[in-house]
Structure 1
Amino acid sequence: MIAGARKKDRIVSMPESRVGLKMRHTRLLKGLTLKRLAELAECSESLLSRIENGSANPSIKTMHRVAMALDMPVSGLFQDGGVEDSSVVLRQGERPTVQAGQGKGHRLEALIPSRRGNLLSGYINDIEPGSGSEGVIKHEGEEFGYVLDGEIELIVDKKKYQLRPGDSFYFRSERPHSYTNNRKKVARILWLNTPPTF
């Protein structure tokens, strides 16, 4: 249970297999074969098949590529739409989460429900030591982040920034960017995107 969560709160942690099920469902709704999705997402067909079957955990970079190929925000791959459109508050312990990358890697906790028409997405990213974006990412929009705990190395346009608690960042998402937790402690980042490509 998440520290500080009340016992009556239920964790809505969606296992990786749910990401695969959502990916397969969306792919089929769009009439795409696994091979065509692999071409559009610039991933191997075997990797996408393993993700759909719940035997592989997609990296952040892979989730970005797949979501762009499916014309949806990344959050659409793991949020199940269970939050009512009129919801204003998402309680601690009730927000959708997903694990990304290998091992513990990267845990994303959605702060804003994924809905059509949203102009903003927000997450708490828990990034394990040695984990990160697993490559360079580029997409439409703007990004803002605030380091709550730990440290990360952020690279934007090949320039490196070591970020510590209390540091914030902002950049256009079209600029090539990546990040890594290059320390021995979990980093916790409040991360916002607009539009909600993530």
Structure 2
Amino acid sequence: MTRSKAASAVDLDDARRNLGIKLRLARQTKGFTLKELAERGDCSESLLSKIENGKVMPSLPLVHRLVHALETNISWLFEEQGPQDNVVFRKGQRPFISLEGSTGHTTGVMLERIIPYKEGHLLQCNIHHLEVGGRSGGSITHEGEEVGYVLAGQVALDLNDQTYALEAGDGFCFRSNIPHSYRNIGSEPASILWVCTPPTF
């Protein structure tokens, strides 16, 4: 990735703020208190408050639990405003999302959006960029099907209780209801082209 650290920090601040606003709106629309949603999402009330106030970005597993409790989807949380009929998304103009862990520190994973998060798309596609030691966090499950192709580096794909070591040129496909996570097991950054349907993140 060639993006500057300053630009990445600004993008992350904006992403935190926008996600927090939408999450609070969804919670209030459902009539949940902070405490009620925290219990349903299996997290602390103080952490949820920090998320809603744009202080931290929730981990991927936590986002899945929260949107499930709110009966919405992750695509809506990250939905972008703009033209609905774009066909081409140029290099250097695609948005990035940096994922954080439960402690508020980066997980070493950056998602580069290939398909924007807009209503009507049947597919979701990102390039998952993993720093050395980067990992997705805890296992998640949801409805759908996923396919991926390792563009660079070496990664481990954990499916339920089985681990697959993959390298550049390897591909995979699995049902999304299988608990899954992934991590960089190499000495260099790794990238995975990842597609799933229906859109969940």
In the superposition, the TM-score normalised over structure 2's length comes to 0.83
Q: CA deviation at 1:22?
A: 2.4
Match of 1:128 in 2: 131
State the alpha-carbon separation in 2 of the partners of residues 133 and 21 from structure 1. Answer: 24
Which deviates more from structure 2 when the two are superposed, residues 28-37 or residues 157-166? 28-37
Q: Judge conservation of contact 2:107–2:137 (CA < 8 Å) in 1.
A: no
Correspondences of 1:154-173 after superposition (within 5 Å): 154-173=157-176
Match of 1:21 in 2: 21
State the alpha-carbon separation in 2 of the partners of residues 61 and 180 from structure 1. Answer: 15
Amino acid at match of 1:79: E
State the alpha-carbon separation in 2 of the partners of residues 186 and 70 from structure 1. Answer: 35
2:82 aligned with 1:83, yes or no? yes
Amino acid at match of 1:45: E
Q: What secondary structure, in the 3-state scheme, does the structure 2 residue paired with 1:105 have?
A: strand
Match of 2:7 in 1: none
Match of 2:95 in 1: 96
State the alpha-carbon separation in 2 of the partners of residues 118 and 35 from structure 1. Answer: 33
State the alpha-carbon separation in 2 of the partners of residues 68 and 45 from structure 1. Answer: 17
Which deviates more from structure 2 when the two are superposed, residues 43-52 or residues 146-155? 43-52
Which deviates more from structure 2 when the two are superposed, residues 111-120 or residues 13-22? 13-22
Q: CA deviation at 1:49?
A: 1.1
1:25-56 deviation line (CA, Å, top 9, x unaligned): 33223333222222222222221111122222
**Pair 1:84–1:193, CA change in 2 (3 A):** same
Match of 1:64 in 2: 64
Q: CA RMSD in A?
A: 2.1
Q: Which runs of 4+ in 1 moved over 4 A?
A: none
Gaps of 5+ in 2: 4-9
In the superposition, the TM-score normalised over structure 1's length comes to 0.84
The percent of aligned pairs where both chains have the same amino acid is 46
1:124-151 deviation line (CA, Å, top 9, x unaligned): 1112222222111111000111111112
Q: CA deviation at 1:104?
A: 5.9
Amino acid at match of 2:86: S
Match of 1:180 in 2: 183
Q: Judge conservation of contact 2:41–2:65 (CA < 8 Å) in 1.
A: yes
State the alpha-carbon separation in 2 of the partners of residues 138 and 122 from structure 1. Answer: 17
Q: What secondary structure, in the 3-state scheme, does the structure 1 residue paired with 2:168 have?
A: coil
Instruction: Tell me how many residue pairs correspond in the alignment.
Output: 189
